[in-house]
Amino acid sequence: MDSSLDILKITKKALERFNSILNSQGNVSKGFRIGVKQMGCSDMSYTMDFLEEVKSDDIIIKQSQPIIVLDKNAKPYIEGTELDWLEQKLESKFVFNNPNVVGQCGCGESFRIKEKD
């Protein structure tokens, strides 16, 4: 298992929200799995799911409750990103502040990153 905090930084507000979600679910899950999948008009989209099991090739972002893991295939798309929780008058959501993004679709559902050398 790869373990690195430099790949994805999670803000205090986002961690508080993760804990709130787990508590509202009766702590059925140990944590969360973050990844990406090909989707949308720009290329990739972020995914977040409840953690069922930690796989041997997962990247562990946070080892204590809540456990947060990153799917190994998402690493090149997420490296250097900050995950935050945003609350506004009419909208609350997790926000990925990704310095590698060079384009997004109009609705913000999908993104494209700059090519790695």
The per-type count for the chain, helices as H runs and strands as E runs, is: 2, 10
Q: Phi and psi (nearest 5°) for 26?
A: 75, 25
Residue 40, domain extent = 2-113
Q: Report the number of distinct structural domains present in the chain.
A: 1
Nearest to 17 by CA among 69, 74, 87: 87
The alpha carbon of 108 is separated from its chain's Cα centroid by a whole number of angstroms, namely: 15
State pTM to two decimals.
Answer: 0.83
Q: List the pLDDT tens digit at each of the 117 positions of the chain.
A: 444 557 999 999 999 999 999 989 876 788 999 999 987 665 788 899 999 899 999 999 988 889 999 999 999 999 999 999 999 999 999 999 988 888 776 666 677 787 755
Residue with tokens 């373990």: 3
The alpha carbon of 1 is separated from its chain's Cα centroid by a whole number of angstroms, namely: 18
Q: What is the CATH number of the domain that holds 10?
A: 2.60.300.12
